Amino acid sequence: MHGMRAWIGAIRPKTLGASLCPVAMGAALAQHDGAFAWTPVLAALAGACLLQVASNLANDLFDGVRGTDSGPRIGPARAVASGTISPRAMAIALACTLALAAIPAAYLTVHAGVAFAIIGVLGAASAVAYTAGPAPLAYVGLGDPFVFAFFGPVAVAGTRAACDGTWSAEAAFLGIAPGAIGVCLLATNNLRDRVGDAKAGKRTSVVRFGERFGRALITTCQGAAIAVPLAATAMFGLPAAPALVTAVLAAAFLPLGVAVVRGRDGAALNGTLAGFGALLYAYGLVFACALALSRGAAAP
């Protein structure tokens, strides 16, 4: 049981809303356009989740090998750094996860176009390069753009395109919202761990640009999650009801950002992380349900 808990911890299921949210939004947009199909949507969800799990496993493995997660931690203990899972076992799990991720990528390539092969290759490479190689993304302050792009516009527009091959500007624009919430999650993690990261040479954006930058980034991204669906109504004709409901949901989580601006720090940020994780799950599901209901209400 102890080993099972370690593997679950390495997978980090509480963060998987970063995959579910944009896929749910893209699927809802496909359904609204009359293009929804279960198999490609499920393939997109499987691919997104597997790539995120691969990134989490790679993070645990390479940070553990580098010694970044050694010593006292404010956040949860990491499996490789704590010795609960060996580097070899974690490397095997990482390789198997990447191999599994190739299956939905291959299906989507055949079904909806070569763009999905490119996304799959880039996603897999970035998942490993996030903490591996001579210049890991997370160690040079590029983790935030990676998370924003792959779990934001790329994931929402990609899920929409998975259904019928149509790449939608509306889907890409709406993808700014889940990408921004994903950055909130990452930046909160980096804010909490900034002292240890700096000592280990992990120059996240918070380490590079400072604590005030990290706090401002979190609140700015949270504001984007509120504003984007409202802007999409004016720009693309998104029905007002799902836009308003989703914006209100994001606004309900504003106390998280306010607490960060007021200086919440250390272990107290663990609760903030959980809150942003919950927002990711809720945001995608609420948007999808509200958009489906609005389409049903508009039908003759």
pLDDT digits (tens, 9 = 90+) for 161-170: 999 999 999 9
| Residue 71: pLDDT over 70 | no
Sign of CA dihedral 285, 291, 292, 294: positive
* 101-155 tens-digit pLDDT: 999 999 999 999 999 999 999 999 999 999 898 889 999 999 999 999 999 999 9
Sequential DSSP letters for the chain: -HHHHHHHHHH-GGGTHHHHHHHHHHHHHHHHTT---HHHHHHHHHHHHHHHHHHHHHHHHHHHHHTTT-S--SSPPPHHHHTSS-HHHHHHHHHHHHHHHHHHHHHHHHHH-THHHHHHHHHHHHHHHTT-SSS-GGGTT-HHHHHHHHTTHHHHHHHHHHHHS---HHHHHHTHHHHHHHHHHHHHHHHHTHHHHHHHT---HHHHH-HHHHHHHHHHHHHHHHHHHHHHHHHH---HHHHHHHHHHHHHTHHHHHHHHTT--GGGHHHHHHHHHHHHHHHHHHHHHHHHHHHHHH--
CB 25 within 8 A of CB 174: yes
CB 195 within 8 A of CB 77: no
Residue type at 117?
A
65 C-beta neighbours (distance < 10 Å), count:
16
Q: At what angle do helices 269-298 and 254-261 cross, to 10 degrees?
A: 150
pLDDT score of 148: 97
pTM of the predicted structure, to 2 decimals: 0.94
* 17-67 tens-digit pLDDT: 999 999 999 999 999 999 999 999 999 999 999 999 999 999 999 998 988
Q: What value does the mean pLDDT of the chain take?
A: 93
* 215-262 tens-digit pLDDT: 999 999 999 999 999 999 999 999 999 999 999 999 999 999 999 999
pLDDT score of 253: 97
Sequential DSSP letters for 155-195: HHHHHHHHHHS---HHHHHHTHHHHHHHHHHHHHHHHHTHH
| Residue 77: pLDDT over 90 | no
Q: Quick one: pLDDT band at residue 68, thresholds 50, 70, 90?
A: confident
Comparing CA positions, the residue from 288, 284, 294 lying closest to residue 22 is 284
| Residue 298: pLDDT over 60 | no
Say which residue the tokens 């700096």 belong to.
Answer: 198
Q: Quick one: pLDDT band at residue 300, thresholds 50, 70, 90?
A: very low
CB 165 within 8 A of CB 112: yes
C-alpha 254/C-alpha 256 separation (Å) is 5
Which string of b and e fits 193-205 if b means at least 16 CB within 10 Å? bbebbeebebbbb
pLDDT score of 297: 57
C-alpha 199/C-alpha 243 separation (Å) is 43
pLDDT score of 135: 86
Instruction: Give the start-to-end residue ranges of the domains of the chain.
Output: 2-298
| Residue 299: pLDDT over 60 | no
- What does the chain come to in residues? 300
